[in-house]
Amino acid sequence: MLTTIALLAVALVSLTAPALGADFNASDEASLNTAITGVNGAGADTHTITITADINLSASTPQLNNSAATEIIINGNGFTVDGQDISGVRPFEIAADTTVAINALTISGGGNPVGGGGGINNLGTLTLSNSTVSGNSATFGGGIYNISVDSTVTLSNSTVSGNSADNGGGIFNINGTVILSNSTVSGNSASFSGGGINNLGTLTLSNSIIADQTSGADCVNIGSGSSITSNGYNLDSDGTCSLSGTGDISNGMADLQPLALNAPGTTATHALGVNSDALDAIPVVNGSCNDSGITTDQRGVIRPQGTHCDIGAFEVRVCPSFPVNVATEDELNFAIGCYNALTVAGSYTINMTQDIDLTASTPAINNAIAGVELELDGQGFTVDGQDISDVRPFTIAFGTVAINDLTISGGNATFGGGIDNRGTLTLTN
């Protein structure tokens, strides 16, 4: 009798216990495929795949397919899933009724797979954040193919660049919904229609740049049932995106710089040049850019830098007033760059507020303006090159620099492992 009661209790617990989220790490093609298969077979919960290294594919990954799951999250951590331009290889495909969120991932090298979508083929619900889709190709939707009346792609703080297709070089949307917020679509090409976006569904744009495609129009809107809606503060470069919302800039000058890994980002972005119409074009409403809720850019840089936000995925950083406190490698590098740009004579201080481990050499200190001097106040902390080859903590190309109360270690360079000085340097404590 007791045994029967115990078995019944176990059965009831099994029936009523909530499903548990499945978590997987992926560091290579095999473990990524295993992770996708694992989340496909998991129950009704949120499941996570964490990318821990760049992954080169030799074949398409399995379709992400779990209609029972609340959401499948792929945390990219700045790594890349690369199809290596192999014919028929697509990094990701998302099934109908499946919800996926991809963050901080580069998706590249998709090679003209069957069915469209060189980088991503979506029939479900996809949110792409802080990510880059680049260097993919397909007949339809070189970067992304959104192909169902029930499918939705939302891009937030993301970049679609350098993709190619016959139709929809960057994005091809047929019957579905595509939403762009604070994103950049540029440098894509189409041999027939829509270098940037080919839309046969519903396209909504907010705070985004669609500009400077390699070939084909920024936007092509086809069919009586298709629409482009602007929520304001968008920019195109050829007037094809039907921009008429508040703050929209049609036929604008984007002045986008080449796709690059711009600090402190882990995914590539198009920086804005000094002549860009996108600079400081978005008002701050309720603490965010045009009340979007977005307070950083794709790289994690705080928005706004100043009183207004920039259009697109990239926010231009504004140098702070000196003295400047730095706690990270990126903050140190940025502070040195800001010092180098100073033109008014005076003594300027960079204060270390914690130990900093370097992954690359800091920029050369090279302000040659008469009377401009730099003090690096270490406050007892350490800048460490970690014995990485060709990493030197400090280079003083010219100018006057004083370094105080700082430990400089772990440099590994041919000349001047810790400091290469060609200016006037004073070391104390």
CA distance 235 to 247: 9
At 381, list the tokens: 């902390």
**Residue 7: predicted pLDDT:** 42
Tell me how crowded residue 372 is: count the other CB atoms within 10 A of its CB: 18
* β-strand pairing of 288-289 with 209-211: unpaired
pLDDT classification of 20: cutoffs 50, 70, 90 = low
Q: Which of these, 203, 249, 252, lies nearest to 228 by C-alpha position?
A: 203
**DSSP letters spanning 43-106:** -SSEEEEEE-S-EE-SSPPPPB--TTSSEEEEE-TT-EEEEEEEET--SEEE-TT-EEEEES-E
At 164, list the tokens: 């190619």
Q: Residue 262 pLDDT > 50, yes or no? A: yes
The CA-based angle 421-415-409, given to 5 degrees, is 75
**Residue 21: predicted pLDDT:** 78
Residues 6+ apart with CB under 8 A from 329: 356, 357, 358, 359, 360, 362
pLDDT classification of 3: cutoffs 50, 70, 90 = very low
**Residue 1: predicted pLDDT:** 44
Compute and round to an integer the Cα radius of gyration of the chain: 25
| Number of helices (H), then strands (E), in the chain | 3, 37
Tell me how crowded residue 340 is: count the other CB atoms within 10 A of its CB: 18
Q: Residue 172 pLDDT > 90, yes or no? A: yes
CA distance 163 to 214: 9
Domain ranges of the chain: 20-318, 324-428
| pLDDT more than 70, % of the chain | 95
Pick the more confident residue, 10 or 247: 247
Question: Of 20-29, 252-261, 336-345, 420-429, which gets the smallest average pLDDT?
Answer: 20-29
**397 and 372 Cβ atoms separated by less than 8 Å:** no
pLDDT classification of 6: cutoffs 50, 70, 90 = very low
Taking only the tens place, the pLDDT of each residue in 271-312 is: 999 999 999 999 999 989 999 999 999 999 999 998 999 999
Pick the more confident residue, 413 or 114: 413
Taking only the tens place, the pLDDT of each residue in 200-216 is: 999 999 999 999 999 99
| pLDDT more than 90, % of the chain | 91
pLDDT classification of 11: cutoffs 50, 70, 90 = very low
Residues 6+ apart with CB under 8 A from 326: 332, 335, 350, 351, 352, 353, 356
Q: Is the pTM of this model over 0.85?
A: yes
